[in-house]
């Protein structure tokens, strides 16, 4: 049955009404089976229209089919194995309605990337009782090592490297291995091999500009590092970059669930003896930014150029060369001066991060 919704009528009510008016069948709607935009059409008078087609599955309650309103010449039941000839678009509607699935069928031309304009780091001032830092990409630049190790893994198992790196950044090694390792392979063994490779490779690891000076200025103030790396790997990279290692370091083995779970940041606040809403977090990756936001911290600062819908309202620094601190009792104020002539940059980001 097909028909047009009357003004003010609900679509499901229209389906029920049209079924009774055209075939004298009483039925009730069970699900919205398909949504599609039909091709634009033009009437003889020049008017143009495009219809949104809604396909409902209805269940029979009463009545025997017959052409009730004079618009049709015949109406009868057909088995799915013996359907009459009909256009493909009508057959698609039937298949969508009888499909054994609760989901609605629809089409979507999903983009692969979007272009987002972000401001260069603007000025900000934020006060907190404690500072929490991610490590890789936030304090330490280990890009060459990390991407090299994952490239070997991707080549060995025929995995798309770009997709793997997008997912891996900010997450524990095992969680990435679990997602990408082909079925039937030993996840724990593959994880151990990857961790061992990263543990021994420190060439090319450097600090994010200004990080060493910044951490020295914070010495004596409550601070912690919350990383997805195993503890020994984190220590090796921090030392290779010449960075101060704070007393509180929450590593991969210290939590049951890694980022984007807030567990690591909450564990850091517990060890420091502060509340989440007394803390400022410095993070560079999507998983870590989500973890920080979910932990309920006072302020989250993006380090670097990562852009997504998560970062829209967050403060940003490119590195630590233009940020200063001022202590007042148990509170530290972090300040970044605004640029005289702020610029906007265009960033192409994966659609799934929007």
- Bridge-based pairing of strands 113-119 and 124-128 is unpaired
First to last CA, the chain: 40
Residues in the chain: 354
Residue with tokens 């490590």: 135
Contacts for 311-315: CB closer than 8 Å, 24+ residues apart: 311/118, 314/289, 315/121, 315/122, 315/124, 315/126
The residues assigned a catalytic role are: 134, 136
Sequential DSSP letters for 205-270: -EEPTTHHHHHHHHTTS-EEEE-SS-HHHHHHHHHHTT----SEEE-GGG-SS-TTSTHHHHHHHH
**C-alpha span between 95 and 105 (Å, rounded):** 10
Residue with tokens 């809403």: 277
Tokens of 274: 């502060």
Sequential DSSP letters for 166-191: HHHTTS-HHHHHHHHSPTTS-HHHHH
Tokens of 44: 């003889």
Contacts (Cβ under 8 Å, ≥6 apart) of 64: 24, 25
Contact 345, 118 (CB under 8 A): yes
């Amino acid at each position: 049955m097909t028909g047009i919704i009357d003004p003010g009528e609900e679509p499901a009510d229209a389906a029920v009404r049209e079924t009774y008016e055209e075939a004298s069948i009483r039925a009730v709607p069970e699900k919205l089976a398909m949504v599609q935009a039909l091709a634009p059409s033009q009437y003889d008078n020049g008017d143009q229209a495009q219809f949104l087609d809604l396909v409902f599955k209805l269940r029979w309650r009463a009545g025997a089919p017959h052409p009730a309103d004079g618009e049709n010449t015949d109406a009868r039941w057909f088995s799915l194995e013996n359907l009459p000839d009909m256009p493909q678009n009508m057959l698609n509607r039937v298949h969508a309605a009888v499909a054994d699935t609760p989901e609605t069928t629809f089409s979507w031309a999903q983009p692969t990337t979007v272009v987002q304009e972000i401001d260069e780091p603007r000025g900000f001032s934020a006060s907190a009782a404690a500072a929490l830092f991610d490590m890789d990409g936030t304090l330490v630049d280990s890009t060459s090592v990390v991407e090299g190790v994952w490239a070997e893994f991707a080549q060995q198992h025929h995995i798309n490297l770009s997709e793997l790196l997008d997912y891996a950044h900010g997450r524990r090694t095992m969680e990435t291995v679990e997602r990408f390792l082909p079925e039937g392979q030993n996840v724990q063994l593959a994880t151990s091999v990857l961790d061992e490779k990263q543990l021994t490779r420190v060439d090319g690891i450097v600090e994010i500009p200004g990080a060493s000076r910044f951490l020295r200025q914070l010495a004596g103030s409550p601070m912690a590092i919350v990383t997805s790396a195993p503890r020994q790997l984190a220590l090796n990279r921090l030392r290779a970059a010449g960075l101060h290692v704070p007393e509180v370091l929450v590593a991969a083995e210290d939590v049951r669930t890694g980022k984007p779970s807030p567990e690591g940041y909450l564990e850091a606040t517990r060890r420091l003896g502060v509340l989440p809403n007394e803390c400022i977090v410095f993070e560079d990756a999507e998983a870590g930014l989500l973890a920080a936001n979910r932990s309920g911290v006072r302020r989250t600062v993006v380090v670097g150029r990562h852009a997504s819908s998560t970062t829209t309202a967050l403060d940003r620094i490119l590195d630590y060369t233009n940020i200063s601190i001022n202590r007042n009792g148990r509170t530290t104020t972090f300040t970044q001066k605004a640029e005289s002539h702020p610029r906007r940059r265009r960033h192409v980001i994966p659609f799934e991060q929007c």
